[in-house]
Structure formats: C-alpha cells, structure tokens
Structure 1
Amino acid sequence: MRRIRTREVFMTYIVLCVLSILALFPFLWMLLGSLKGRLDLFSIPPKIVFSPTTVNYTEAFVHKSFLKNLMNSVKLAATSTGIAIVIGVPGAYALSRSKARGDGLLLMMALLTRMFPPVVIAIPFYVLMVKMNLMNTMTGAVLAHSILTIPLMVWMMKSFFDTVPKEIEEAAVVDGCSNLAVFFRIVMPLVLGGLSAASILCIITSWNEYLLASVLTGKSTATLPVAIPGLISSNGTLWGEICAVGTVVSLPIAIFMLAVQRHLVKGMTAGSVK
C-alpha cells in the first residue's frame, strides 16, 4: 500500500509539472523573444541559446512612449481599486448588517453590472463621457473602471462581513465603542484577508481591461494594453517590442500575485471561524 501511495503521489507531481510547463510556455517564449535581437528572433530553427539584449525594451520604453502608457496603467489600476475600497467596503458592510427591504435587489443590480460584457456598455459610456467632457482623460477611464471594480468589491466583501459574528460587535458596543470604532478596530482586522483578495482581483480587472480603455482614452492617456496594437503597422510588425511590452504587462501582476498569494488564499478560503 505504501508503494502504491508513493507511485500515486509521484504520478500526480509529474502531471502537475507537465501542466505547469504547458501553461507557462507561452509566457516563457514571450520573455525569450523580448531578449532576442531581430536575427535571433526570426532564426529557423528557433534559437534557445543566444546572446540576450535589451534593445527591444530600450526601443519600446525609451524611444517610444510606452513608459508613459505603463504609468497610465498603474494610475488607472491603483485609483479605480482605491475608489472601490472607499465606496465598496462600507457599502458591503451596510448590506451585510442591514435587514432593510430591497437589499437583495441592490445586490442583484450590482451583479448585473458584472454580467454584461464590456462591449455592451462601451457605447453608453462613450456617449456619457462625451457629454461630460471627459473623453480622452484619465478621470473618465477611472470612472468607467470603477463601475467594474466597485460591484466586485461589494459582492466579495459582503460575504466576508457575513462571516463575522454580530455578537463580537455587540460586545464592543457594550464596552463603549462607537460604530466607527467597531468597524475599523473590530471588524476590519477580521476581514483583512478578504480585503486583500478583493483588492487583488480589482487590480487585475483594471490592469487587464482593454475595451473600455481603448474607447475612452486618447494617445496621452492610453494604457499599456491599449498601446500594444500601435506596434503593428502597414510597414510590418515589431515582434521583439511586442514581446517586451507584453512581458512588462504580465510580469508586474505575476510578481504581485506571488508576493500576496498567502493573503489571497487566506481571503478566498476564509470561513465562519476566525
């Protein structure tokens, strides 16, 4: 039985390793392509051993305006997530503790905003931003992305607030805590894992979003995913620079996920026992 168990564990790890290699291969190939010169990039058969160069990164982020696009992506993701936290967390707490009629309808309306594909709301957002004189501005893009991140924050945080026993809050009120003190000093420390998980998902949603950003932003406010198609023209496709920009788009999120994976797993698996 011990040999059978060892064999099963070994085969499981083999399958997981193969699946991991298949999943990571496109990213690794893009990373290698970003470090190749033009001759190495188009060599047949493909070169695995080559002299790495940073010319693609230099061309994209120094000679072109992709550094500005990168900063736009950072500002958009950070600001929309911050707005989602400021508005969504108190809203989720209120919905969790309120027993008023119509709470379920509010939650359903928030969920509907996540069910619609971005292409459905792109034109209404475009018309709205034109009338508000917010086209091609970072403010307009932030407002549009906040519409996507706030419902996500509300839905996730409400489930985490529901796991906090109300008796803890009642005991704090008996000890003299105000409502704000109960919220910030008692409840929030218990749901920090959930807040981390929700914030991570909001950042990823805003960072990777393409359609709304491409419709609502202009040349000076375009995000990094929106700027990548500019490397494809009638004169040809700059594959090396596309690989470099694609790597920069993917790598920060990957590093961020690895850095906070403990909080993400804790938040996503949090139960009623704290």
Structure 2
Amino acid sequence: MPRFTDKTVIVTGAAGALGAGMVRRFAAEDARVVVGARRREQVTALLDELGTDRAVFAQLDVTSEQDWTAAIATAEAAFGPVSVLVNNAARAIVGTTMSLTPDEFREVIDTNLVGTFLGTRAAVPSMRRRGGGSIVNINSTAGIGTAAGLAAYGTSKWGIRGLTRISAKELGRDNIRVNGVHPGIIETPLAYDPATGELIVGIDDQPIPRLADVDEISSLVLFVASDDAGYSTGAEFVADGGYLLGPVPAAKP
C-alpha cells in the first residue's frame, strides 16, 4: 500500500543524486512532490518524468527566507498543506579549521544548518494547518563522529543534530515529528574531493566495504517520513555500512 497518498512532500536539493532519488521514491508511493532546486533546468528531466499531477518545481535557495515562503505557497497552491519536509540540500568544502577561509566556513554553515532552520520555520505553520507532519533532516556520519578535513561540513552536521532534537521536543505536541538520517558515504559527487577525484573518506576497512546506494538511503528516508515510524521523534537513523563502529582489524595470517 502506498504510504503517502494525498500527502504533500517537499524535497530540497532535488538536483542532486540523492534528492532526485528520494523524489522518485515519494512519487512512486503516491505523494505529491515539490521539487526544490536553485534552477529549474537542473530538474527539468525529473519534472518531465513525473508529470505535473505528481510534481511541481519550486525555485529554492535554502538560505533565502523569501524562497522558502514562495516554496510553501507553491506547495499549498498545487497540492495542499505540507505533510513531509526533507531537508536534504547540502554544501561541502574540503578544508581544515586552519585552511578554510571564514567565507567558506559561512557558506557551508548557511546552506546546511541555516537552510535546515529556515526550512523548518517555513514548513511548520503549513503542517499545523494539516494537523501534523514529518520533518526529516539529512545528516551524516560527520554529525556523530569526527570529520578531520571537513571542518565546516562536520560542524554544520553537528549543528543539525542539535536542531533536530530541539525541534522534535518543541513540535511534538503539534503532531510534528522531526528526525535525522545519518548516511555513510553515498555514491554521489559529494563523496569525492572535486580537486583530486578521490573519495573524501575511505571505505575499504569499514565492516561493509562499499559505498551506499542512493535507493537504499531513500528507502530509509521514506520509512522515517512515513507513519510506519510514527512513534519516533528526535531520533537518529544511521545507515553507514558500520563506519562508525571503527575499522575492521586486519586478518591475522
């Protein structure tokens, strides 16, 4: 049975591989999806694939309050009040505390943490009109462990972790759940250093020594967003191939 019939879902960062994958999965389960991206041409093929009865575009720079106001208005006009918000848009700049410039640090914080804050603020009144809702913040193993060399990204994800738990406590009596999903390294461009083309974090010594597939992470997000996880709020759902467990010891000869 489809889990999102008659539900309005907003997915940010829909131009990326994970965002597009989640949009497709929500649409396949009968949701009406607002496809959030900075520019329409980034998601034209996705919109054409799904059709206007299933998906609409919202021009959404997640750091802009005006864009968020417009996105919620677009959602309500097309499909009705918002039931699900997936805060997925993300920015990563490789660099240490000492090598990053202040502007680079702010750019990552503004997209990842402030963008999540603004999205939550914008969506909650619509969810209240609906009678409740579900917010899923896409986090990272960098929001639970340490991420040397990703000082801004890791800091932003730790901030999202706190915001998720605080929002969950504040919004629970409104029948609005807020949870975090912490993927490991997914097979997307974000997994690679744009300067070298190498993986940002190694996977060879983790218990499941491979990258995550977009569809398996999307499956987890849909579960967390759905009523199947209706008693979970402020929770952290990890899908990292065992990365946070530490490296697998080398086999003895």
After TM superposition, is the score higher than 0.5? no
Higher relative contact order (CA 8 A, sep 6+): 1
TM-score where L is the length of structure 1: 0.23
User: Which structure has more strand as a fraction of its residues?
Assistant: 2
